[in-house]
Structure 1
Amino acid sequence: MPFYRKRVWAGLYLLLIFFVAAALFYSFLQQNRLDTDLTSLLPDDGQNTQAQQMAKMRMNQRMNRDIVVLVGSKSPDKAVEAAQIIQQKWQDSHIFQSVTGKLEPDVAALQASMQRLSLAVVSEQSWRNIINQPEEAFARQAQTLVNPFAERSILPVDQDWLGLGNIIMHQASQDGPVYYNFQTGWLNIDDGDTTWVLLRARLPEKAGLINVPDGLLNVIHDTQASQDVQVLMAGGSIFAAENKATGEKESQYMSILGMGLTFLLLLLLFRSLRILYLLLPLAVGILFGLAATVMLFGHIHILTLVVGTSLMGVLLDFPLHWLASGVIQQQWNRWQALHIAAKAFLLSLIITLLGYAALLITPLPILQQTAIFSAAALISAFLFSLLCLPAFFSTTQAYIYPQALSAMLSFGKFIVRKRQFMVQKKWPVLLILLLIGGGLLRLNTQDDIRQWANLSPQWMAQAQKIGLLTQTMPSGQYFVLQADNDDELLLKSRTLGKSLQDLVIQKQLSGFQSLDQWVMPFSIQKQRQQDVSRLLSNTDNWRDLVNLGIDEHSIRDYLTGLQKLPLQTISQSLDNELGTAWQDLYLGKMSNGKVAAIVSLSGVSQVTALQKLADKNNGIYFVNNLQALNQLFTHTRNQAIALKIASYLVAIVLLAYAFGWRKGLLMLAVPVLSSLACLAVFAYAGWPLSLFAIFGLFLVTAIGMDYAIYVSVKQMAVAERLAGVLLAATTTMISFAILGFSATPAIASFGRSVALGVFFSMILALALLPGADNRGRCNESV
């Protein structure tokens, strides 16, 4: 007696199902295991230095945890009022770690920082103007004393006779369009007759793209809907929240629609509610797929879940092959039919699993996740169908409408006749091969991270407008610098900055941000101490102040204190509110003893010139994430194609062992020609061949092999084989064709490739059938 007929195995398997379900439920209670971050689908680049890895993490955090909000109105008071309401609502939501709007700086702390940094952070051009024309610098301060409308620093005049305070404030704001409004305490941007008020919100440390707070999207939508002013928002977490909501919605409606259509079809054909028992292996497969993915990866990505739930048609293949014999045979023996179907399906399952195992070699976690999910789902659904499903079909067998059976047989006979016609005439085969070849020549291979998700045009437009208003358009390109010490790092940054400034002038770059724009090297700070000493030696420099009655000792004391200021390291210059804009750029000391920093870029229009500035031997690395990812996708796609060819070689060995070389080659032709025909359709339809489409063809190979093996089982009548393939193919095409309408380009590409591949596999597999009479009896002469 086969093991699957012993009840003890069914009982043990049911216990395992209960244990896995309980463990998965507990795991989701402990932590949200659903991942929406696109970057988590990408591999870690082990070749990157520690500095590059830290820089990538820092830049991602900078772009993904922060949300920038601009509130605009022609009435400044109205804009401020609306911004105050938004700030309060967002703070009350408890979603954000901080919401920064109206600034109430610690004046005493700012004054202390300005005095401490007076020599260290004043720009080179500003300092040169002061030293070359010191009389004008002192004269400006003299005018400040007598002119009530003059621009004033937060430093008292008698503590800032050179006017360094205003220079530092301008540098801290980076001299961009964003300025601090002293009257309202808000950051403003003037754009024609519109005043924009700036807010910044930061999500908690553990939040961001991977763990998007549940209520974030509702807060975002409510904010835009409830305001009578213009509100612009930008942040990676907004895209992630929308993708999460879209993915969950798609997963739900596609699962419901696919399952509904599949079982509606089966109910119409079998005319019995008993067919709904096929939901059980489906549920078990998805349960084990989820559990295996979460156990191995710690989470499951929303794209993996969407693709995984589309496996419904594939998970039903084995039970449908088994039940198909019952709709044909007058006296159906469930165990005999199960034994015959299991032998055929087991060989197909082994070949399928080998294909999925090959995907584990690829570096992309998305392919690894989907391979694990699919393999676990197929194995568990097969075992449930083998051990437990026969108990639900113990007394009666399923029957199908006579008209449906007649239509199936007619369709099978039609396919066989066309096969014979094509073999005899030859030219139709040649024409089809020419069409496939022409399509392959026109095929457009394209892999881009931007194809992975559906980025909302609304949020893209808002992000672009914010970039234009703030004159900061972050890009995926930046430099990482390494040096032996802070001074060398700043000098290296200055040298690179000069080359970058040339590119800005040439309009190949809109701007950049580097540490040397904020703090000077020790060598320059020491030189400035000497410059102050020379100022002290010439009393004519501050004649205008003395003429106003200013005590000369006060001026000398100020300059002497300035001269004695301690040299400031990079860390010391950033440890205050004034250096906030540059804090993320300094990476600190690495494990190799070197220090590192980032030079961020914005508005990159020409990458080639930037690449030429990189010098790895000198510790200057250019990072182009988008280009690197697209190159990785191309490499992975080529690797996947090579693995697919290797899987064909393994398959032909197994098929030749089971059926002989001639029959094995004919059976292998089913998935091979199906895949090629699918690629040709992609070319003629103008759809780019992405990595996800290639992955879909892996599944097509498995399904096509399954159908080819099934139609070759001589222990079954032709009608049984025909019904099994048609039922399995129809249910599979339903679920994957629905995916083809997904708003996510990667998912849509995957769904189209599988649906088309299954269709061609069905046609080619049925072409291998011998002829049959109207009752489905085999006629080998046909």
Structure 2
Amino acid sequence: VIHAQIHGDAFDDKLPLLIDDQVHAARHRVESQQGELLAAGGVLHAAYGQRQAREEASLIGSVSLVATLALLHLLFRTSRVLLVALPVLVGALSGAAACVALFGQIHVLTLVLGASLVGVSIDFPLHYLSKSWTLQPWQAFRALRLTLPGLALALATNVIGYLAMAFTPFPALSQVAVFSAAGLLGAFACATCLLPSLVNVPLQPWAAPLSWAERALALRQRLLCRLPSSWLLTGFVVFCLAGISQVSFKDDLRQWVSRAPALQQQAERIGQITGFEPTSQYFLVRAQTPDELLERQEALGTRLDELVAEQKLRGYLALSQLAATTVAQESLHLALPRLLEYSQPLLALGMTAGALEKELAALQAKPVTGLDQVLAGPIAEPWRPLWLGTRSDGTVAGLISLQGLRDSSTLHGMADGIDGVSLIDRPAELNRLFAETQRQAALLKMFAAVVILALLCLPFGWSGALRCLAVPLLAALGSLACLGWLGQPLTLFGLFGLLLVTAIGVDYAILMRERIGGAAVSLVGTLLAAVTTWLSFGLLALSSTPAVSNFGLAVGIGLVFAFLLAPWAAKTTEEPAS
């Protein structure tokens, strides 16, 4: 068994991949000699997660962009329309520049989720390109002038929604929010200032989608004549309440990294061979002197022995198992002479009294051994990393590592009554941070919804603003209900996905509310925006990383509801003009 210790951060962008490459090279050398090498460690899982995330970001971004461009080329029948990829590029560069400027680096999850910005960035040019179905002869600047108020309003609501997430206490979520907000600003600038001059050519889009939209609106009207909106809303609310009641709200650090079956199997085999099954939890023990440290570790070890006896813990390593206190060693020295009283079995085996007395004298002559001396011996190799030495304030510190822990909750309260002992449970701390971030994100989104409502009141009035805001909120509730029906938990990034649905869904409501070019054209534009966005976010549901998959699933389902509910944002005949 070779224990290796890295000098750096396991979440460093390059270090995990470097260590992973070294392990692969060592395995190749061992296997070339007909041997087998097994390796385990958090840094290897971090390297695997980084590789998977980068590959997924590249694949998802490429597939969504190619599929979107192919769809637009099919609909508009000109290669000039492929220039809508420019806002995507500008948006990605703007987001990356903002992250580097504010944070100094870009988290790998930001790249994965940021790759999905493709669909949202393309929505801006699609809003005025879709008007080519009715605004003939087509002029890009004319369509832009007609749709610019709605585009600006959609940008403002999206940026408000994203920036609300930037104030959460979780750094990765804040970085994703900054990346997305800056990316949307860059994409909007490109779509309104540069792109119209590049696509200002005659457009004759495929006519079939417009006729499909007209039939869909006619079918919707006939449905509403038979089933009033109040009945449909009641049924939808019942569906949501029943689904939400089945949702489990949980977050776990393990959801951040895709599982590596090969690494897990190697770790299990190492545990079977060596009995070494380290956990993420450990005890930190502080004291004024090494002797006091050993006494406190021994007191805690007595309690841990009970967990071992109950098979809730496989074992542990403590410095008190290896070394004895000065008092204990001195007591042993005082007791050594009495050993001759019990030497009859040894004499019966052939030992001479002189040999026993000589050995006893040698033991009595040995001085008291300090902890540093004990740890310097070869037998102390497993315990040596547990000694943290003397601190700057003169105190000493050491660790008690745990192996084969079944349930971390059994450790809470274990150190009560023992001074200087602290339980270090980083996964539990992060899970509490996730829960707190969820709570704050929900509150921030409520505040953002109030701001968006006030902003929508300016062009649409209170009644119109409420209808526009109700569309994304109901879409988010529908997505949350579907997670419950599918047996999926709501993770932190799943919540972020729902909040994103509320931001994107406002765009669809605004587009249907304005009805530039007619209701059917607005529906076609909404469908194009939904499809291109779904190609970006919906594909994330296929990610091997649970947190990213939950995010993609929440957004993908929410976009479907947002599109279906968008026509209800249109102005009703009895609604007063604003």
Q: TM-score, normalised by structure 1?
A: 0.67
Decide which of 439, 445, 455 is 1:654's aligned counterpart: 455
* Equivalence for 1:430: 234
Cα RMSD (Å): 3.1
Decide which of 721, 724, 737 is 2:538's aligned counterpart: 737
1:548-572 Cα offsets, whole Å, 9 max, x none, are 98798x758734641xx2541x344
* Counterparts in 2 of 1:702 and 1:468: CA distance versus 1, 3 Å: same
Aligned-pair CA distance for 1:531:
4.1
Aligned-pair CA distance for 1:511:
0.6
Alpha-carbon distance between aligned partners in 1 of 2:387 and 2:501, rounded to the nearest angstrom = 49
Aligned-pair CA distance for 1:648:
1.8
Equivalence map 1:253-652=2 (5 Å): 253-394=59-200, 396-419=201-224, 421-423=226-228, 426-531=230-335, 547=352, 558-559=362-363, 561-562=365-366, 565=367, 567-568=369-370, 570-590=371-391, 593-615=394-416, 618-652=419-453
Aligned-pair CA distance for 1:527:
2.8
Aligned-pair CA distance for 1:618:
2.1
Structure 2 counterpart of 1:678, which letter?
Answer: S
Alpha-carbon distance between aligned partners in 1 of 2:288 and 2:203, rounded to the nearest angstrom = 78
Structure 2 counterpart of 1:518, which letter?
Answer: L
* Contact 2:296-2:418 within 8 A present in 1 as well: no
Alpha-carbon distance between aligned partners in 2 of 1:406 and 1:236, rounded to the nearest angstrom = 56
Structure 1 counterpart of 2:381, which letter?
Answer: T
Structure 2 counterpart of 1:453, which letter?
Answer: V
* Contact 2:75-2:205 within 8 A present in 1 as well: yes
Structure 2 counterpart of 1:501, which letter?
Answer: D
* Equivalence for 2:8: 206
Structure 1 counterpart of 2:238, which letter?
Answer: L
Structure 1 counterpart of 2:110, which letter?
Answer: T
* Equivalence for 2:498: 697
Aligned-pair CA distance for 1:741:
1.2
* Equivalence for 1:721: 522
Alpha-carbon distance between aligned partners in 2 of 1:749 and 1:217, rounded to the nearest angstrom = 32
1:433-465 Cα offsets, whole Å, 9 max, x none, are 211221122222232222222212332232122
* Contact 2:513-2:571 within 8 A present in 1 as well: no
Aligned-pair CA distance for 1:698:
1.3
Decide which of 455, 467, 470 is 1:666's aligned counterpart: 467
Structure 1 counterpart of 2:214, which letter?
Answer: L
Aligned-pair CA distance for 1:731:
0.5
Alpha-carbon distance between aligned partners in 2 of 1:220 and 1:751, rounded to the nearest angstrom = 38
Alpha-carbon distance between aligned partners in 2 of 1:745 and 1:648, rounded to the nearest angstrom = 28
* Counterparts in 2 of 1:594 and 1:229: CA distance versus 1, 3 Å: closer
* Contact 1:251-1:305 within 8 A present in 2 as well: yes
* Contact 1:207-1:213 within 8 A present in 2 as well: no
* Counterparts in 2 of 1:540 and 1:422: CA distance versus 1, 3 Å: closer
Alpha-carbon distance between aligned partners in 2 of 1:217 and 1:327, rounded to the nearest angstrom = 59
* SS of aligned partner of 1:290: helix
Count residues with an aligned counterpart: 568
* Contact 2:282-2:423 within 8 A present in 1 as well: yes
* Counterparts in 2 of 1:486 and 1:738: CA distance versus 1, 3 Å: same
1:62-111 Cα offsets, whole Å, 9 max, x none, are xxxxxxxxxxxxxxxxxxxxxxxxxxxxxxxxxxxxxxxxxxxxxxxxxx
* Counterparts in 2 of 1:476 and 1:705: CA distance versus 1, 3 Å: same
* Counterparts in 2 of 1:294 and 1:219: CA distance versus 1, 3 Å: farther
1:308-355 Cα offsets, whole Å, 9 max, x none, are 101110111111112222342113443343234332222222222222
* Contact 2:329-2:368 within 8 A present in 1 as well: no
Is there any run of 5+ residues in structure 1 with no aligned partner, and where?
1-197, 772-779
* Contact 2:514-2:570 within 8 A present in 1 as well: no
* Counterparts in 2 of 1:547 and 1:517: CA distance versus 1, 3 Å: closer
* SS of aligned partner of 1:509: coil
* SS of aligned partner of 1:581: coil
* Contact 1:304-1:370 within 8 A present in 2 as well: yes
Aligned-pair CA distance for 1:694:
0.7
* Counterparts in 2 of 1:606 and 1:403: CA distance versus 1, 3 Å: closer
1:616-636 Cα offsets, whole Å, 9 max, x none, are 872222233333333332332
Aligned-pair CA distance for 1:667:
0.6
Alpha-carbon distance between aligned partners in 1 of 2:333 and 2:17, rounded to the nearest angstrom = 51
* Counterparts in 2 of 1:694 and 1:224: CA distance versus 1, 3 Å: farther
Aligned-pair CA distance for 1:275:
1.2
Is there any run of 5+ residues in structure 2 with no aligned partner, and where?
none
* SS of aligned partner of 2:566: helix
Alpha-carbon distance between aligned partners in 1 of 2:353 and 2:364, rounded to the nearest angstrom = 21
* Counterparts in 2 of 1:446 and 1:467: CA distance versus 1, 3 Å: same
Alpha-carbon distance between aligned partners in 2 of 1:699 and 1:531, rounded to the nearest angstrom = 73
Deviates more, 1:210-219 or 1:597-606: 210-219
Alpha-carbon distance between aligned partners in 2 of 1:534 and 1:455, rounded to the nearest angstrom = 59
* Equivalence for 1:233: 39
- Answer with 1 or 2: which has the greater Rg: 1
Alpha-carbon distance between aligned partners in 1 of 2:185 and 2:392, rounded to the nearest angstrom = 46
* Counterparts in 2 of 1:768 and 1:218: CA distance versus 1, 3 Å: same
* Contact 2:286-2:397 within 8 A present in 1 as well: yes
Deviates more, 1:363-372 or 1:336-345: 336-345
* Counterparts in 2 of 1:225 and 1:581: CA distance versus 1, 3 Å: closer
Alpha-carbon distance between aligned partners in 2 of 1:541 and 1:221, rounded to the nearest angstrom = 52
Fraction of identical pairs, as percent: 34
Alpha-carbon distance between aligned partners in 2 of 1:526 and 1:429, rounded to the nearest angstrom = 82
Alpha-carbon distance between aligned partners in 2 of 1:345 and 1:702, rounded to the nearest angstrom = 13
Structure 2 counterpart of 1:637, which letter?
Answer: Q
Alpha-carbon distance between aligned partners in 2 of 1:298 and 1:245, rounded to the nearest angstrom = 21
* Counterparts in 2 of 1:588 and 1:244: CA distance versus 1, 3 Å: same
Alpha-carbon distance between aligned partners in 2 of 1:558 and 1:255, rounded to the nearest angstrom = 74
* SS of aligned partner of 1:512: strand
* SS of aligned partner of 2:542: coil
Between Structure 1 and Structure 2, the one with more helix by share is: 2
* Counterparts in 2 of 1:551 and 1:436: CA distance versus 1, 3 Å: closer
Aligned-pair CA distance for 1:494:
0.7
Alpha-carbon distance between aligned partners in 2 of 1:493 and 1:625, rounded to the nearest angstrom = 21
Structure 2 counterpart of 1:267, which letter?
Answer: H
* Contact 2:10-2:16 within 8 A present in 1 as well: yes
Structure 2 counterpart of 1:257, which letter?
Answer: V
Structure 1 counterpart of 2:7, which letter?
Answer: E
